Structure 1
Amino acid sequence: MSNPEAAFVVAERFGAAESPTWDAATGELFWCDIPAGTIHSLVIESGQRKRWSFGEPVASFGLADSGRLVVALSSSIVFFNLETGKRELIATIRLPAGVSRLNDGKVGPDGAFYVGSMDRSATTPQGALYRVDESGRTDILTSGFSASNGLAWTGDGQTMFHSDSQGEMFVDRWDFCPQSGAISNRRRLRAHDLANGRADGGAFDTASVYWSAAPSCSRLNCIALDGTLLRWVELPISKPAMPCFGGADMCTVYVTSLDSGLSGTGKDGIVSFRSAVPGLLPYIFGRRSAK
């Protein structure tokens, strides 16, 4: 298989550019820079850029109705109005001592926001995966992670992938109930596969292939539902962080990056390439999927 040609969409260094999210209604690509505490948007057709600052780390976010985002900050979940800048608290998460902040998060098929946390300091890590609904109810689904990451769901909403991008560095598969958000039947698919890169952010395409960013190998790994590594895509960015699908046909893959730490330019930013198989539209907070 030939490697698709990736082009820079944004040639810029970020501390940790994460949560790429495609808004089909506006033709915008959104992403955050975690340590800078900012969310960015780019209208692909016009090139118009916007930036919003939060004054603390922005861990992740998702789309919500009425021109809003659901945003995970250090330890709280808020609504954010893109037009007015107004914030509305949804939930405060009481993180255990030693847990530094929230991390990767996405809206799930049931319309709730799923977000993990990070604990890189402990011998027995206490990072967890939380489910937060529109009313602010917060439930811990599972725990024991150094850096909860890699959330993504298959098109039928019945399978969830989740990873730990530090510590044990694994990818797990869970059965998921798209009505209740309950997870069950955990299976370990990949672990300690440093030869193919540690698993960071991920996304599913419509063929139920999981695209997993591997920042230690400068590529995206394409993983089957049984954990088999099918292929990979080599990228010009040094440390790819997370992919998402977008474009009018959902066949454009956008990939954000971590800070390469390298001098000069050309290894940092956001790149895109074309996929033969489309990806899935992001879910909307508070809106249950019809599937």
Structure 2
Amino acid sequence: MTMNSISPGKVETAIASTDILGETPLWCDRSRKLWWIDIDGRLHQSFDPATGAHHVTSYDCQFLGSQALAADGSHLLAQDLTLHHRQTVIDVEYGLDNRLNDGRVDARGRLWIGTMDNQLHRPNGALFRVTGDGQVARIFGDVIVTNGIAFSPDNRTLYFTDTRRYRTWAFDFDLDDGVIRNRGLFADYSASQERPDGACVDVAGGLWTAFFSGGRVARYRPDGTIDTVIALPVTNPTCLCFGGSDLKTLFVTTARKFLDQRQLSVEPQAGHVLAIHGVAQGLPEHRFLAG
């Protein structure tokens, strides 16, 4: 198959936000809204394509690390090292200079979420599995920056990225037991030190990954080969999801963080949420099943 390279001209601004570190976009098929966060701005945001309404809620924490949709229609929010769902607070980790970062809910309603080193170089982080009754299981450690957690459409593979190790792995996933095995290297950028960041999957099993500081998103086939690259008008894409009524719009969050004034002046879309139409079709997001 010939690699498909899509020009930046196909990329639109969906929401002209000014996110410091936009992240974790999720399409809610009930509200028909896009939800995302600004980690450093501590903002939880929504956008309604039908009306153009952009709603922003601020939180009192150091970092609003990620989010998940919940089965009752609410949201699960990662604040520093704790998870917040309505009146419930779940402590995930203690005593380290870490914060919660990327996470994703599996088809049984369990949240898989990881921590990251606030200094971006120490292997202090870990991957955790959190169930609706508040039980937290530490799956493995030795992680610098957790990212790119995604599940294949057949629920047999879990993808996991450590951005500051420049690698993505694939695990065999047992949906019934909630266990991962047989860690295998899926993509390795350790030589070039490119930074794979957030990820999502499409209906055909393709893994879409944003490259922070790389100005692009790419689609991997399940065998690990890349078949699509989309150049972006920003240096720092962070994460992506499929949304819209037909789940055929690829939304990409971006960051202004780490860009100097010169870079910001030539990247007016930095910090915006971008949209690319018709490149693939996504899947509805799974929802956290609280006990």
Output the TM-score relative to the length of structure 2.
Answer: 0.90
For structure 2, the residue ranges without an aligned partner over 5 or more in a row are none
Q: Give the counterpart of 1:178 among 175, 197, 201.
A: 175
For structure 1, the residue ranges without an aligned partner over 5 or more in a row are 80-86
In the alignment, which residue of structure 2 is the partner of 1:282? 285
Asked whether the 8 Å contact 2:197–2:211 carries over to 1, the reply is yes
Greater RCO (CA < 8 Å, at least 6 residues apart): 2
Q: 1:221 to 1:276 in 2, by over 3 A?
A: closer
3-state SS, counterpart of residue 141 of structure 1:
strand
Query: In the TM superposition, what whole-angstrom CA distance separates every residue of 1:129-157 from its partner, at most 9, and x where no partner exists?
Result: 11111100000111111001100111111
Q: Which amino acid aligns with 2:98?
A: S
Output the TM-score relative to the length of structure 1.
Answer: 0.90
Matched, 1:32 2:37: yes
Structure-2 separation of matches of 1:72 and 1:267:
24
Q: Map residues 21-60 of structure 1 onto 2, 5 A cutoff.
A: 21-56=26-61, 57-60=63-66
3-state SS, counterpart of residue 6 of structure 2:
coil
RMSD over aligned CA atoms reads 1.9
After TM superposition, the runs of 4+ consecutive aligned structure 1 residues lying more than 6 A away are none
- More helix by percentage: 2
Query: In the TM superposition, what whole-angstrom CA distance separates every residue of 1:214-265 from its partner, at most 9, and x where no partner exists?
Result: 0222100111222222221111222110010011111110000121523332
Matched, 1:78 2:84: yes
In the alignment, which residue of structure 2 is the partner of 1:83? none
Structure-2 separation of matches of 1:263 and 1:184:
43
194-203 or 242-251: which moved more? 194-203
Q: Which amino acid aligns with 2:83?
A: I
Matched, 1:19 2:16: no
Asked whether the 8 Å contact 1:76–1:89 carries over to 2, the reply is no
Structure-1 separation of matches of 2:58 and 2:118:
26
Identical counterparts, % of pairs: 26
In the alignment, which residue of structure 1 is the partner of 2:109? 111
Q: Which amino acid aligns with 2:13?
A: F
Deviation of the 1:66 alpha carbon: 2.7
3-state SS, counterpart of residue 195 of structure 2:
coil
Structure-1 separation of matches of 2:16 and 2:206:
28
In the alignment, which residue of structure 1 is the partner of 2:243? 246
Deviation of the 1:194 alpha carbon: 6.3
Q: 1:193 to 1:223 in 2, by over 3 A?
A: farther
